[in-house]
Structure 1
Amino acid sequence: MNEILDAILAPDTTSADFAALKIPESYRAVTVHKDEAEMFAGLSTKEKDPRKSLHVEDVAAPELGPGEALVAVMASSVNYNSVWTSIFEPVSTFGFLERYGRLSPLTKRHDLPYHVIGSDLAGVVLRTGPGVNAWGPGDEVVAHCLSVELESSDGHNDTMLDPEQRIWGFETNFGGLAEIALVKSNQLMPKPKHLSWEEAAAPGLVNSTAYRQLVSQNGAGMKQGDNVLIWGASGGLGSYATQFALAGGANPICVVSSDKKAEICRAMGAEAIIDRNAEDYRFWKDEHDQDPKEWKRFGKRIRELTGGEDVDIVFEHPGRETFGASVYVTRKGGTIVTCASTSGYNHQYDNRYLWMSLKRIVGSHFANYREAWEANRLIAKGKIHPTLSKTYTLEETSQAAYDVHRNLHQGKVGVLALAPEEGMGVRDEEMRAKHLDAINRFRNI
């Protein structure tokens, strides 16, 4: 690994030099263990501690197959799917690996007693398998997390509809929280040149997810002038949704849970902000019953911020806790687009407010390659900026996952893999200087 790192850090290493590097037999990676999948049985979600389940250990380098690439990972980041993996919710990911392993002799590699996790990376291509023409050793890349087989016709209009669609590092093995990662070549995208390794690694999953959910015609198809309600507007997903709304001429109504998070939204340029804790919204009377009076109070507050207008789009991801309110406050003919359920998967809402007002609920999951590419292109052009707030070392990943699990973070948290320190990997200092304040926005608050 030292030889690989030296080659990456050297200014004159050629593609041929990278191709000549020996791939080590093993590398350090963040894993969960199959024989520990029941370790949190009987505990509530909040009681489950990623610091007890995540390991940093040496694992064997995987065999490289056709259409694949081995990437030296300089930096990665923690997403909610890493938290879900670490606490074995809603199910253990080893079921995903077992099913993938039954697909073919090649995918059998993924069915192991350990799972190398992580769905983001920024790094350097080391090797490519047969059939890879667009990428070669030495290319500096980021990776999106969509893994597809595309042997069915279903996925050829939208690869997210491929029956064998999976999320890399969550439903497949050999993820990005490691020194080396195995990806399909059609996951690779150019690393934005003005960003450091850890900054470039942070947007991938959440930026692409927010793009499809909000901007793409596969999601809400946001247009200029739309009022967009964004739950968790300073968080990993919401911070990108807020930027897309502002960049696209829409009006974000940012819902946050503290004054500090409200300050972050203001720094991004948002003006309409609701601190749900300060205003004490309680959408549930008890475990079983919601409170429509609170929906109405929430809707009234939104109209105060929009000049009397209801929201055209709700950017949903909390799920059970907020979904009833989201359906209620959407304008007639509006759209509730949902990509997750971090507060619970069983959503409840009053269907009268949906069907009689011709509203739509749209499910949105990650992004296809084109959508991920466009989202990354906006990062590379400095139109959308990373929301990195803090960086951990690979050995500290379990603490990073714990912090995300307990919502102790802002924006995204990064993880250094091979990169020895923060701030490395910048290739365009001039462009960086133009956007430095925005790049550091989440670090400075």
Structure 2
Amino acid sequence: MRVEVAIHPMVQRQGVLVVEDSTLQRTHIVEQLTLLGVERIHEAGDGFAALNLVRNLMVPPALIVLDIALPGIDGPEVLEQLAEDGYRPALVIASNSDNALIASVEDQARRLGFHVLGGVHKPIPLDELASMFTALAEHLALRGPRPVPGRATMTADGLREALDRQMLQPHYQPKVELRTGRIAGFEALARIHDAAGGVILPSSFIALAEERGQVGELTLYMLGAVLADMVTWKSRGAEASVSLNLSPVLLLDHWLISEIIARVGTSGVSPRKLTFEITEVVLAADVPMVLESIGRLRQAGFAISIDDYGTGFSSMQQLSRIPFTELKIDRVFVTEAPGKPHMAEILRSTFEMARSLGLSTVAEGVETAAELAMLKAMGCNIVQGYHFGGPVSAVEVFDWVRDNGDRVAALCEQGEAESR
């Protein structure tokens, strides 16, 4: 008997891939998917078969149900290779492994950029699978239409062309003040718009830019575009705070830090409207030049956020050395804390520490009402994620705020009620 559940059109169009070496288990999962109304189902009995299938399909699947223990090449290695191909679909981990191993693979998948719906033991209960499809449909609806992920990786020549032809553009994801429901600002996220109309995400070109020594040029290009957008917004009577990522390798370049300070100084934008997000790995760097660069940015008036906090196992001593103003909690903690008490306790302790130090806290990757209510109860200051909205272009920012302001405020009020 077919079960009624929301299947997003993109999932129906692109299909689901089941990667499972046990014929019995694979057949069971396919039957469950059929009962839910999935119309296009692909099957692979091992990791090599899965990679070959994905690489040869005209349109890759929108969702993969993946076993961890596979012959020849295991599930984690399959994820590594798919990510290298630039393909990161939604993912369900289905395994008979212990909970700790399943959680470890979930963490790996999220770090690689996959949208993880969850990890479950086999055989997968139908109601649990149905809930995952409902969550995926809501997630895709919030994100709106987007290009099918491409398998081709960005080349050095392609990145050079993108910079020369001004194909790199900032998109802006809203950051919401949880207590008031007010839009607190935006994070600027780099997007490359290729000649075919596709959108290339940073995961496909940031590491390459760092490797090729182009990340400084890319950063200054992004900064210039962000400043131009902020000046335009100001001319229309609206000022917004913006955060943007700063690669840790650039903290070793004194000229570039000086150039950032100088360009903002001549732009008409107040440095206090800009936050530089620097990943937690800088905390482990015992390099005086890194600390000096961060100090110069703070002295110039910029705010400094420690990004992906919680993934680097930094110590209190390391935290105390850097004059940052904000902790940005990694989305892994946001996603897993509602269902894992030990993760929730770590998150709660982090917020308490931040309050004692007078730091603002930002939680990224918020996608559900349960996550929002949890963060509200724990006293998080600012939230960001597809539960509120995805990145939009600069020209769409005003329309987005106008059309979504009341909805965002209502979501925060609902989170207040659920947290009591």
Verify same fold: TM over 0.5. Answer: no
TM (norm. structure 2) is: 0.34
Higher relative contact order (CA 8 A, sep 6+): 1
Relative to total residues, which structure has the larger helix share, 1 or 2? 2
